[in-house]
Amino acid sequence: MSVDSAYHQDTTVLPTDLLSLLDKQRQAYAAHPYPPLAQRQQWLKSLRRLLSDEREVLIDAISQDFSHRSHDETLFAELMPSLHNIDYALKHLKRWMKPSSRSVGVMFQPASARVLYQPLGVIGIIVPWNYPLFLAMGPLIGALAAGNRVMLKLSEFTPATGRLLKDLLGRIFPDDMVTVVLGDAEVAVAFSSLPVDHLLFTGSTHVGKLVMRAAAEHLTPVTLELGGKSPAIVSADVPLKDAAQRIAWGKSLNAGQTCIAPDYVLVPEDRVGAFIDAYRQVMHSFYPTLSDNPDYTAIINERQLARLEHLKTDASAKGARLIPLYEQGQGRRMPHCLLLEVNDEMQVMQEEIFGPLLPIVPYRHLEQALAYINDRPRPLALYYFGYNKAEQQRVLENTHSGGVCVNETLLHVAIDDLPFGGVGPSGMGCYHGHEGFLTFSHAKAVLTKQRVNSSLAIYPPYGRTLGRWVQKLFIR
């Protein structure tokens, strides 16, 4: 099917319709509150077949939303991890669903204790524009594995992808099982105010605060996947080609429009010039030119492009030295640019960049670099480049971030057995893999007794012989 045929009519949901959609899902959940393993496996297998069969039309829709998105980036960064995530859930779901046995103290015997992992009910998921497929599928997979119903709010900045996903998911799931909500900021505000059983939001820290405030009205638990300024540290002795190559890939993927992209690089002051040379060489090997280069992704829209251009202008006006790596781009394919002599007065050092601008901050010794990071809000990711294991451990133990890669960027998000989430200003809660199943489940404590009532010893009236013996034995 073509991309256009999937959304030939307006399917935007009005804010007033959201409660009726939620009510329909609540009723469906009430009728089937604990879907069996086979049912959940069938949901996940249907989703996997859909993503695999429709991969090309999905890639085309995302590219249309960006004006140009690299085919291979969408394949590797969105489709592949989504398919692997489903495979991982299918492999482990039986074990995840099994109630976990817990111990019971002697005083409370005979009895048994276990934790039952129960679906929460209806999960609300707010999806950003930068990875509209992967950041919809990741939480959707976790929510379905846990046995829930799901409402997905897609970004208004990816209309082609949103309408296509609404059509595709509607083929395999009724809207009382999975529904896709489209609409502008007004719809998003109403969506975040719904009394769902859990709300997951991926986006900026500023909007995350608004989402959490809206959810608090109903005491809705939230998982916030935010962002922040994720640093990369280049050590004093790592080969610069190694570090430059991996940082450049992490920064140029999706033109830097990634919540865990390296936001700035801390480089030993005596290695800054050599790092710039290595970085430029690597970037030109990745992208010899930007014009008509199918591998280089465009900025999502004119608004974001203007924001990034303003960051450059503001930095330059306040004393930064800009080092463009290309003469010009094409359309919204923004040229990669390094920034030197930056300071905290510049907006580029105050807010998440989310684009192909990379400030370089010199440092003299590792403690100074760690202090620089720790003086700032805790980021979603941190990257360290160096092969000294003692230094690696110092970085891990003396910094806070949602996740860390040592001698790599971005790829921790693709490891199915690792939780993904932020800390402090970069988010709360986590998902992916088993942690995703747990996030969208209620761990219900269950204590079971049969006919023998060992609790008689602690019933009133107090002061009886049996009660005194209990005190002597168990209160010491």
Supply the pLDDT for residue 171. Answer: 97
Do residues 240 and 180 both lie within one domain? no
Rounded-to-5 percentages of helix, strand, coil across the chain: 50, 15, 35
Do residues 35 and 80 both lie within one domain? yes
DSSP symbol at 39? H
Give the other-Cβ count within 10 Å of 31's Cβ: 8
Closest CA to 342 of 324, 377, 318: 318
Do residues 132 and 251 both lie within one domain? no
Do residues 236 and 221 both lie within one domain? no
Within a domain: 308: yes
User: Domain range spanning residue 295?
Assistant: 231-418
- Amino acid letter, residue 392: Q
Supply the pLDDT for residue 11. Answer: 56
Catalytic residue among 78, 225, 352, 391: 225
Element at 448 (helix H, strand E): strand 441-448
Here the tokens at position 283 are 């970037």
Cα–Cα distance, 172 to 36 (Å, whole number): 18
Do residues 350 and 434 both lie within one domain? no
135: CATH: 3.40.605.10
- Report how many domains make up the chain: 2
Within a domain: 453: no
Supply the pLDDT for residue 8. Answer: 37
- pLDDT beneath 50: ranges in the chain: 1-10
Do residues 171 and 317 both lie within one domain? no
Catalytic, 225? Answer yes
Do residues 347 and 299 both lie within one domain? yes
Supply the pLDDT for residue 463. Answer: 76
- Angle formed by the axes of helices 185-192 and 18-31, nearest 10°: 40
Tell the residue number behind the tokens 């303003």, with chain if given: 310
User: Do the Cβ atoms of 125 and 150 come closer than 8 Å?
Assistant: yes
Do residues 138 and 26 both lie within one domain? yes
Do residues 244 and 275 both lie within one domain? yes
User: Do the Cβ atoms of 70 and 295 come closer than 8 Å?
Assistant: yes
Helices and strands (DSSP H and E) totals, the chain: 16, 18
Do residues 278 and 302 both lie within one domain? yes
Taken as a whole, the chain contains a residue count of 476
Within a domain: 451: no
Do residues 264 and 372 both lie within one domain? yes
Within a domain: 400: yes
Cα–Cα distance, 475 to 105 (Å, whole number): 13
